Structure 1
Amino acid sequence: MIKRKLMMVERIMYVDSGTPLNCVFTAKIKGTLHEADFKTALEKIQKKHSLLRSRIDTDTEQYPFFIEEREMEAIPLRIIDRESDEDWLHESEKEWFRMFEDHRKPLAQLVWIKGNEVSEILWVLPHCICDGTSQVTLMRELLCLLDDPTMELDTYQAFSSVDDFLPSGFNTKKKVRKARLYLLMARLFFLMQKKSKKRNLGKNYVIHWKLNPEITNQITSKCKAHGVSVHSLLCASFMQAFQEIRGAEAKRKVISPVDVRHFIPEIKQDHVFAFAPTIELSLKKGNHGIFDQAGHIKKDLLEKLEKIEARELLWMGEQMHPLVERMISMLKSTHGGHDITLSNMGKINIPDQYQRFELETIMSPTVAFPWLNSNTLVTTTYKQEMDFTLMSNEDFLSRQKATEIKDKALELLTVSLQN
């Protein structure tokens, strides 16, 4: 049975009991689906993942805890009639603000936008329990079970604390001294910061688009020819677009989340987990072409990936719990030093052909961060199509400006493919 304190990173994504921060992941299905099969599938998925049988207790301890409930209700299924191809966007925006406050119900919700021949399925989960890989896993499991309700899922033992991930030679005494120094420096940093009352009061939005297989393959081929990654090219294109549209307001930096499973193999691909280390990447000074910048970014990314000590990061974070509320307050009130958080989830490993239906496409996850700088770009690739969701808040970056930045980035990409 789970009873563990939320990790520092989970607490930041939890925010507080009155602030929703949900991720929504959508799949478009061709074929006939049945409500009874949904309920069977959700029961088996909930049985596998203990976090889907847990609630967050904020009352009995100093810090929030996950507590697994023996009598947790089933994952709710909300069914609505499908009227247009845009329904999933409208429902996503609604689900961003769902409050998971009923302790009898799990930290998950499924939405079925039901059509005669086409449906969309939306997984809705608080960000404090899942990352992008978790969402892909849950969608894959759901589709497989909808196709074959007799299939069984293997359960796994949930970790009890970050200490479970520490290597045998981890010198806790030495790290404690380092952590105390970091905590002291962080306290001094926050004392020096002027408190800001600035908050986003506008409307959150999402802009969605796809690149067809021809353009997607051109990007991939061109990146290979230049020895750069698709991720570094996207970073370069969007940072340059921010620079050209926002001028002096542009930071020339992006933040890129990385899948923690690359560093901690005990966290399996099919485990629900929330922590993703981040890397800051920037354009090099001067006027350079997009592929030149992409080469610089790739080199910088590889160097920083080698230096990530994910196990120590998790442990060190646990020493910072006294400052979490100040961290959240700063995220809500400061512009940050970056233009955008860019999450490239890469190729999505979910089958498209099933006995009962076809997975026509997937849409990149959407999210509405409560931070002042809520600029977020998520991209996925499925069936040789790159898919993008660009999100922000009207107070921080207007939808019109975001559209201009998107168009400029696509223009830069297009020009780079022609050269």
Structure 2
Amino acid sequence: MYVDVKTPLNLVFTARINGEIFEDDFKIALDKIQQKHPLLRVSIDDTTKKYPFFVEEKEMASIPIRIVERTSDEDWLLESEKEWYRIFEDNKKPMAQIVWVKGATISEILWVLPHCICDGTTGVTLMRELLALLDDVSLELNPYKDFDSVNDFLPTDFNFKKKKRKARFYLLIAKLFFLMQSKNSNTNQGKNYALHRKLDVTVSKKIVEKCKANGISVHALLCSAFMQAFKEIQGKKAKGKVISPVDVRHFIPEIKQDYIFAFAPTVELLLDKDNNDLLSNAKHIKKDLIQKIKKMQVRELLWMGENMHSVVNSMVSVLKSSRGSHDVTLSNMGKINIRGGYKNFTLETIFSPTVAFPWLNSNTLVTTTYNEQMDFTFMSNENFLSKEEAIKIKNKAIELFIS
């Protein structure tokens, strides 16, 4: 997710509020948030050692705010797309930015952070803390100590000798794989874009009820619907596979819900290509997901990752030039736990995060639910998937999803 010093890869998380907020309160709130979270006080050193690493800056500047005049309900999405290309290159400034799309009564607040320091849960945490402090700047947040290394997560009986042999084996396999892939020169040269859709309460409830009645999860139905949509729109070009990130906090309780963290283990979920029944495929996906999550050794995955730094450049090169074996990366963040009522404003809604991956296959779907409304953002690149075709896929998937 770091890629390199010249490549932006930012996550943008947006909330819409109705009411009055003040710039001075923003500054107080952001200083308190910055003092709580260590990763909001670091820079990335990519010159001192062989591989890049975080360095805490003793004299770090405050989190900046960019204020934009609000002219329409779509401004947040336009500003979000602009922030995809922000590069956090000044070591004395934090790897975080606030954009305030400011209207007379309605405003959008955008958190912008590099994906290498945050995941979707981080965005929820930071938005929750910011809104609470904008409502009452006297609130205090409890700082925590950052982790020193992946060794902090290892069990006491971790067999380093055995695992190092395993790591060397996987490293050798990875080097051979990337060596075979290195001749591909395709890269994305097109324009990144984001599509957005929010379902109303009635439709969103209907989907949840359908899932309960059929013994499936909303996530499984989402995967089934979008893979089926790719199949119907793209035909033989469709892969019938979804990559789905999972919140690392489910596996490592030391990483608290309100900690900033950036590692997300993933699972691959497959569509039964000979079966066009949406619910049947959803049941299959749910079963497959449960089994794969049970088998996950996330602490070991973290440790193994630290032994793979020497192939990261090759990995990035392949991601930038390979069409991949999946249709879409689908991140379902579920219900967003942020209260709606405050003294001087209300939280109207949450928009699913946006992100522009620099990979050739940049198809990404993020979903959230807030106030019983499901929300979707679908991102890709014109060079890989035309916007017109993406609209067809999105519309077909939602049609299948809500039917």
TM-score range, shorter chain: over 0.9
Partner of 1:92: 80
Distance (whole Å) between structure 1 residues aligned to residue 398 and residue 45 of structure 2: 45
Contact 2:128 2:338 in 1 (8 A): yes
Contact 2:111 2:127 in 1 (8 A): yes
Letter of the 2:331 partner, please give it: S
Q: 2:385 aligns with which of 397, 412, 418?
A: 397
Partner of 1:4: none
Alpha carbon RMSD of aligned pairs, Å? Answer: 0.7
Distance (whole Å) between structure 1 residues aligned to residue 380 and residue 324 of structure 2: 14
Equivalent position SS for 1:139? helix
Distance (whole Å) between structure 2 residues aligned to residue 414 and residue 385 of structure 1: 13
236-245 vs 79-88, which moves further? 79-88
Distance (whole Å) between structure 1 residues aligned to residue 136 and residue 86 of structure 2: 30
Q: 1:47 aligns with which of 4, 11, 35?
A: 35
Equivalent position SS for 1:14? coil
Equivalent position SS for 2:116? helix
Query: Between Structure 1 and Structure 2, how many residues are aligned?
Result: 403
| CA apart distance, 1:180 | 0.8
Matched, 1:181 2:169: yes
Distance (whole Å) between structure 2 residues aligned to residue 356 and residue 365 of structure 1: 25
Partner of 1:7: none
Equivalent position SS for 2:39? helix
Q: 2:116 aligns with which of 125, 128, 146?
A: 128
Matched, 1:199 2:168: no
Letter of the 1:255 partner, please give it: I
| CA apart distance, 1:192 | 2.2
TM-score, normalised with respect to structure 1: 0.95
Contact 2:95 2:113 in 1 (8 A): yes
TM-score, normalised with respect to structure 2: 0.99
Structure 1 moving runs of 4+ over 3 Å: none
Partner of 1:10: none
Distance (whole Å) between structure 1 residues aligned to residue 402 and residue 24 of structure 2: 47
Partner of 1:6: none
Distance (whole Å) between structure 2 residues aligned to residue 287 and residue 50 of structure 1: 49
Cα displacement string for residues 215-256 of structure 1 (whole angstroms, at most 9, x for unaligned residues): 100000010000000000000000000000001100000000
Structure 2 unmatched ranges of 5 or more? none
Structure 1 unmatched ranges of 5 or more? 1-12
Letter of the 1:327 partner, please give it: M
Letter of the 2:19 partner, please give it: G
| CA apart distance, 1:184 | 1.1
| CA apart distance, 1:287 | 2.4
Matched, 1:172 2:156: no
Partner of 2:351: 363
Distance (whole Å) between structure 1 residues aligned to residue 276 and residue 79 of structure 2: 41
Matched, 1:348 2:336: yes
Distance (whole Å) between structure 2 residues aligned to residue 179 and residue 401 of structure 1: 41
Distance (whole Å) between structure 2 residues aligned to residue 196 and residue 383 of structure 1: 46
Matched, 1:299 2:287: yes
Matched, 1:372 2:360: yes
Distance (whole Å) between structure 2 residues aligned to residue 191 and residue 370 of structure 1: 21
| CA apart distance, 1:194 | 4.4
Distance (whole Å) between structure 2 residues aligned to residue 92 and residue 215 of structure 1: 27
Matched, 1:115 2:103: yes
Distance (whole Å) between structure 1 residues aligned to residue 8 and residue 325 of structure 2: 24
Equivalent position SS for 2:21? coil
What aligned pairs does 1:262-411 form with structure 2 within 5 A after superposition? 262-411=250-399
Matched, 1:223 2:211: yes
| CA apart distance, 1:193 | 2.2
Q: 1:35 aligns with which of 23, 31, 35?
A: 23
- Identical-residue share of aligned pairs (%): 66
| CA apart distance, 1:284 | 1.6
| CA apart distance, 1:58 | 1.0
Partner of 1:241: 229
